[in-house]
């Protein structure tokens, strides 16, 4: 039965873990990494976890505020953007729609960091395009394809 390594995020076979400290769930390959690199990977994983949380609490905002002072530029940038998101809209429900509509500069930063796609549709369906639906075009008639004009279209 495989075990999950919390540093690399992979399910690894039992042989890839040492006999000691097995409950740490860090594989041998990740254990050989420098401590700073292991911590960096875990912090990046934590930051991605914040993005998917349903509520960014006060405790999360404090942690993100502290990470804005981190020496690593990538962690600092991600933490700063997520801290802004937590201040603007801490709840997950309709977060993307509100950020895209009300805070386009913050949306652009999220897209640059990979948290959102620049031209994707919102989670609530806020960016539907009517050109994909021919029945919404003016003058569209369902009976154009049918042979019998009196037939019921369903």
Convert the pLDDT of each residue in 8-27 to its tens digit.
888 888 888 887 766 678 88
Contact 89, 54 (CB under 8 A): no
| Global pTM value | 0.68
Residue 103 burial (10 A CB sphere; 0-12, 13-18, 19+): middle
State what percent of residues in the chain have pLDDT above 70.
Answer: 75
pLDDT digits (tens, 9 = 90+) for 39-64: 998 899 899 999 999 999 999 999 99
Q: At what angle do helices 73-88 and 104-113 cross, to 10 degrees?
A: 140
């Amino acid at each position: 039965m495989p075990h999950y390594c919390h540093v690399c995020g992979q399910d690894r076979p039992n042989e890839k873990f040492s006999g000691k400290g097995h409950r740490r769930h860090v594989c041998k390959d990740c254990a050989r990494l420098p401590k700073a690199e292991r911590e960096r990977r875990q912090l990046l994983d934590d930051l991605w976890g914040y993005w998917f949380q349903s509520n960014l609490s006060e405790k999360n905002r404090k942690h993100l505020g502290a990470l804005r002072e981190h020496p690593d530029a990538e962690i600092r940038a991600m933490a700063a953007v997520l801290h802004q998101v937590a201040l603007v809209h801490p709840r997950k429900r309709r977060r993307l729609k509100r950020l895209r509509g009300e805070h386009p500069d913050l949306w652009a930063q999220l897209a640059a960091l990979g948290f959102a796609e620049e031209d994707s549709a919102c989670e609530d369906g806020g960016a539907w395009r009517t050109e994909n639906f021919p029945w919404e075009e003016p003058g569209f008639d369902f009976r154009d394809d049918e042979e019998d004009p009196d037939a019921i279209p369903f």
